[in-house]
Amino acid sequence: MNLNKKHVILGVTGGIAAYKSVTLSRLLQKEGATVRIAMTRNATQLVGPLTFETLTGYPVGLDSFALESPSRILHIEWAEWADLCVIAPATANILGKAACGIADDLLSTLILALKCPLVFVPAMHHQMWANPVVQRNVKILRDLGYDVMPPAEGELASGGTGPGRLPEPEEIVRYLQNLKSEGAD
Ligand SMILES: Cc1cc2nc3c(=O)[nH]c(=O)nc-3n(C[C@H](O)[C@H](O)[C@H](O)COP(=O)(O)O)c2cc1C
């Protein structure tokens, strides 16, 4: 997918690699995309929304119910706006919620409303990644037609070595550029 002039929602969940999403949002912008950020509450413990707001020039989507105008329904508005959604890092939690259709915050509700391609970029400790429940959820998501980028292998911030690292932001951008989706370009 050519990212130039595309509307991209970057979903950020509460993984230790959330700091890499800051670089990812910059790289997406460099490719010509307009980026909006949807964060989970837990992600804000790891990166401040103000960082993303300053870099993207747009308020971070956090709460479904925190609007000045109650007539605007944020998850629908954003779903209509988006050409692509990428969730990086994607926690084990968001994978599980998405696989089950749980919609209890802005990001998980948005997932159900999207009509554009959605790419999950999981990142977690290798023991979590190896957990059969997580693997089952990844399979469910792929079977449903979502894209799940395989995690990188190596030293993990949470200790240990193995698959579960968030791929470098440059690799994520390349992966998105190689997406083949109907009407994407
Ligand atoms: C410091 C810290 C780092 C974490 N890193 C990860 C991680 O890399 N991947 C993951 O799946 N969960 C990680 N967790 C656990 C998630 O934050 C937790 O499952 C949370 O409920 C996820 O919520 P969210 O998906 O709504 O953001 C971490 C927790 C803490 C306290």
CATH architecture group of domain 7-177: 3-Layer(aba) Sandwich (3.40)
Phi, psi of 85 (to 5 degrees): -125, 130
**Measured distance CA(99)–CA(165) in Å, rounded:** 21
How far does residue 181's CA lie from ligand 1's centre (Å)?
A: 30
Average pLDDT over residues 79-105: 97
In short, whether 94's Cβ falls inside 6 Å of ligand 1 is yes
pLDDT at 154: 86
Q: Where are the beta strands (DSSP E) in the chain?
A: 7-12, 34-39, 84-90, 118-122, 147-148, 152-155, 161-165
Each residue's pLDDT tens digit, 132-153: 999 999 999 999 999 999 999 9
In short, whether 123's Cβ falls inside 6 Å of ligand 1 is yes
pTM for the full model? 0.95
pLDDT at 157: 79
Flag the least confident range among 64-68, 99-103, 161-165.
64-68
Domain positions in the chain:
7-177
More confident: 182 or 119: 119
In short, whether 11's Cβ falls inside 6 Å of ligand 1 is no
How far does residue 18's CA lie from ligand 1's centre (Å)?
A: 10
Under the banding of pLDDT at 50, 70 and 90, the label for residue 184 is very low
The answer to whether residue 43 scores a pLDDT higher than 80 is yes
In short, whether 90's Cβ falls inside 6 Å of ligand 1 is no
Under the banding of pLDDT at 50, 70 and 90, the label for residue 128 is very high
In short, whether 137's Cβ falls inside 6 Å of ligand 1 is no
